[in-house]
Amino acid sequence: MCLNTVHNRNFVKYVAHDLIENGIDVEVEIYNQEKFLKKLRLKEYDIALYNITVNSIYPLTSLEKVIIGKIVDYELKDTLKPFFHLYEKEKEREKRENIINKIFYLTYSSRYFVPLAHRQTYILKSR
């Protein structure tokens, strides 16, 4: 995991503790962002943690940046493209949510992603 935020550093401690408690040996390796993403793209890891932030207003843009831009799994990119197009054309909210769920399912099933936590992110700014 790229430990470049306080949240990520705290979260990796939480996950490591939980894995150790369940009998799994854990060694936290520190990489810079570039080296981490290279290992992630090449699938050179046993377990990798990656913090994905999805903008609730533009969820597909967020997913495209992460899945296609950073992880670069070309088979996944080809698989997901039709769903991205469907999402952009669909107007009904419930159907859009179903498309997002399908995209997440395809993402998790091809990369063995396991969502560990869901939290809201708040961006504070001054006027």
| Mean pLDDT value across the chain | 76
3-state helix, strand, coil in the chain (%, to 5): 60, 0, 40
pTM above 0.95, yes or no: no
pLDDT reported for residue 82: 86
Q: Where are the beta strands (DSSP E) in 1-127?
A: none
**Quick one: which of 11, 6, 8, 3 has its CA closest to 31?**
3
Q: Grade residue 39 by pLDDT with cuts at 50, 70 and 90.
A: confident
Q: Is 106 exposed, middle or buried (0-12, 13-18, 19+ CB in 10 A)?
A: middle
- Angle 33-103-99 from CA coordinates, rounded to 5°: 140
